Amino acid sequence: MWRLSHISGDPRVRAASGATWVAGVELSKSTDELDRRLGIGDAMGGMVLLAIAGSLPELAITISAQSRATSASRLET
């Protein structure tokens, strides 16, 4: 039977959780500094920066897929 306790004890899950925590703290600090420099306000700065950060995985996937498709089309011709 699958149990959450087996996953939470996995060192990879703990490492990924720690990395996510550290990245979140750094993202928050970066957002605060950008808000201060640009004077756009906490809510707007956080919304914009988190929207960008949330879109990065999709951007990476799209670029990767496009480069693979381009490589495959070069091999066919």
Average pLDDT for 30-46: 81
CA distance 56 to 48: 13
pLDDT over 80 at 2, yes or no: no
Regarding predicted confidence, which is higher, 77 or 71?
Answer: 71
Confidence of residue 33 (pLDDT cuts 50, 70, 90): confident
CA distance 4 to 56: 29
pTM of the model: 0.52
Q: How is the chain split into domains, by residue range?
A: 12-76
pLDDT confidence of residue 45: 76
Six token digits for residue 27:
């993202």
pLDDT over 70 at 3, yes or no: no
